[in-house]
Amino acid sequence: MNKNDWKRTFILLGLLFIPVSLLLAIDINDTKLLTTPAISQTHIAFVYANDLWVADISGKNVRHLTTDLGIETNPAFSPDGSLIAFSAQYDGNLDVFIVPTAGGIPKRLTWHPGQDIVQSFTPDGKAILFISPRNTFSGAYSQLFTVPIEGGYPQQLKIPNAYRAAYSSDGTKIAYNPLPEAFAQWKNYRGGRNSVIWIFRTNDYSVEKIPQPEGRSNDPGPMWIGDKIYFRSDRNGEFNLFSYDPKTKEIKQLTNYKDYPILSAAAGGGKIIYEQAGLLHIYDPQKGQDARLTIGIATDLSELRERYAKGARWVRGADISPSGARAVFEFRGEIVTVPAEKGDSRNITNTPGVHERFPAWSPDGKSIAYFSDAPGEYELHLRSQDGKGETKKFRLSGAGFYDEPEWSPDSQKISYADNSCSLYWIDLKTGISKKIASEYLYQPRRGRPVYSAWSPDSKWLVYTLNSATYIQKVLIYSLDQDKSYPITDGLSDVAQPVFDPNGKYLYFFASTDAGPVKQWFDLSSADMRLTNSIYVVALTKDAPNPLVKESDEEKGAPEKPAADKTVPEKAAPAKPEQKTAAADKPKDEKPKDGAPKPAEAVKIDFDGLDHRIVSVPVPAGS
């Protein structure tokens, strides 16, 4: 298939509609995913679908305040509640804007190319406090600035660096977090970049630190109500709301969520509004009471309108049929097959609003396997390659987000991995799945660490697994014994093992210089190079070394046999009836029922196997 053929195919695939069933999932009476809220005496503000919204403090009378194509974030009310400051991308860059709470045209206040993020108003309501990296030499951290609501040049505060900050009501103190939030990338982070709260006095520039437990915690987003500071903290598990009294030094936990963390919070009008589990709550410090808000939003979200999608950029997973007549693609959540030369593309799932992933064509060419989230959680689906008939479904018991289905050669079993980096196999006849192994270390970006490949007789599965030292090893799993055997010792990093077609040998890549390079944490090894060589293993003791050294030797002239003067009798011709049926049958003829010849059973001698690993004499490469 040439380039133009592919192009025409993907234009045809563009006729697939964007899913519209998501519209039915939005509750217009109790809408979820309302983020970064703010509160005043009479109103609340929040972000939904990257736009700014405002409502009564009860959650009623919701109004759409902004409709920018970019994002709006971090709303903050002025002390009298008449204005809302926020950061937005109206002109491409993230800058500070203000808009009347009653509605109107937003006014831009900052113009620097750095990202300016609103924190709060100053206590007198005449300026807005925001953070910006504009004056830092590296942009790795940010500093505090104020800009007048009437417009003007921003003024930098004396605090060296800050990420979140809030003024006390009298303006004599600023509570702030000095560094960006490391816990956003590493949950339960306790390293040197943990979020601490410092209280800065504007008269003498002295600093007081809010105490933390031994072992540290993260205390982001300080807020003032009266003389107390309120903040989120993960010191007791999930992020909950806490208070700190600078006079008595008492720290008190105010909420006790154990399922989902409080993601953002803001104070105003003597109360605190916060986001938890996609919902907004208002906490009253005076009463010690928490009230969940019911907010309904009915709007025409343009992202959810049905529309055409076309182009190769929507292609994810792919596989090819055994004969190469067709290929199968994951095209924006649909499973689509396309011909190599003649015919039309074929959508075999046609399920708008459902995400199908990782298609794999069976070796017998009859079925396509893929994962589908139709029931809510991903499960394994099998469908006829022509899209006809019923879909066979298998519920899986792993950690979800399954990937990399690999068919066994007999088309009766599939191996796959889950989100916990565990390897499984499932018997398609019984629907029973078994866990084979799990990664010792869970890495942030999986890629495909749990690699697997089947033996020709479908009774063995070879796979890779990282050791405790983060060096990948090769293991072989026996389906009959439900047991794994190590092939390599972990002194070299191995990858992509595969059986040869006859099941006599095993090939894999291995690297002996991967130690300093194979890690994801930092760039300390960016200038180093990892190389791989190819190795082959003889699986049985009697298997000949495929790379045995050959030597050309002079054998001399062969001796001529002495002439035999006796005349041999002529051999009697074979009688027709003496010819066997096997002699009449062509060697490559298949059984009458068309079934392929069963694969020869794979035998493995594990005793001394590590001494039968030899290096293929080709140069090492990356």
Q: Is 90 exceeded by the pLDDT of residue 546?
A: no
What percent of the chain lies above the pLDDT cut of 70? 89
Cα separation, 206 vs 225, in Å, equals 21
Which amino acid is residue 565, in one-letter code? K
Q: What is the DSSP letter of 5?
A: H
pLDDT digits (tens, 9 = 90+) for 335-368: 999 999 999 999 999 998 899 999 999 999 999 9
pLDDT at 585: 44
**pLDDT level of residue 23 (50, 70, 90 thresholds):** very low
Least confident range from 90-94, 223-227, 246-250, 558-562: namely 558-562
pLDDT band (50, 70, 90) for residue 599: confident
Please give the DSSP secondary-structure letter assigned to residue 411. Answer: S
Say how far apart CA 383 and CA 404 lie, in whole Å: 17
Of residues 53 and 548, which shows the higher confidence score? 53
pTM of the model: 0.71
Dihedral (C-alpha) 344, 350, 353, 354: value to the nearest 10 degrees? Answer: -100
Q: What is the rounded average pLDDT of the residues 209-220?
A: 96
Domains of the chain listed by start with CATH number: 34-300 (2.120.10.60)
pLDDT tens digits for 42-55?
A: 999 999 999 999 99
Instruction: Considering only the C-alpha atoms of the chain, give the largest distance between any 2 of them, rounded to a whole number of Å.
Output: 129
On the question of pLDDT at 588 being above 80, the answer is no
3-state secondary structure 11-60: HHHCCCECCCCHHHHCCCCCCCCCEEEEECCCEEEEEECCEEEEEECCCC
Residue 434 clears pLDDT 80, i.e. is over it: yes
pLDDT band at 569; cut points 50, 70, 90: low
Both tokens of 80, joined, read 């009298």
Question: Which of 26-30, 118-122, 526-530 is the least confident region?
Answer: 526-530
- What's the pLDDT band for 565 if we cut at 50, 70, 90? low
97-101, 491-495, 568-572, range with the lowest pLDDT: 568-572
- One-letter amino acid at 255 equals T
Model confidence at 194: pLDDT above 80:
yes
Give CA angle at 41 (39, 43), nearest 5°. 55
DSSP state of 582: H
Question: From CA 603, how far away is CA 539, in angstroms rounded?
Answer: 7
Residue range 585-605: mean pLDDT, rounded: 64
Q: Average the pLDDT over each of 30-34, 495-499, 527-531, 615-619 and give the range with the smallest value.
A: 527-531
- On average, the pLDDT of the chain sits at 89
Instruction: Give yes or no for a contact between 452 and 439, defined as CB atoms under 8 angstroms apart.
Output: no
pLDDT at 461: 97
Query: How many CB atoms sit inside 10 A of residue 11's CB?
Result: 12
DSSP letter (8 states) at residue 621: B
Looking at residue 258, its amino acid is: K
Q: In the prediction, which pLDDT does 174 show?
A: 98
User: Over 90: is that where the pLDDT of 589 sits?
Assistant: no
Query: Which one of 256-260, 306-310, 444-448 scores highest in mean pLDDT?
Result: 256-260
Q: Is residue 525 within 8 Å of residue 516, measured between CB atoms?
A: yes
* Residue 134 CB neighbours (<10 A): 17
SS3 144: strand
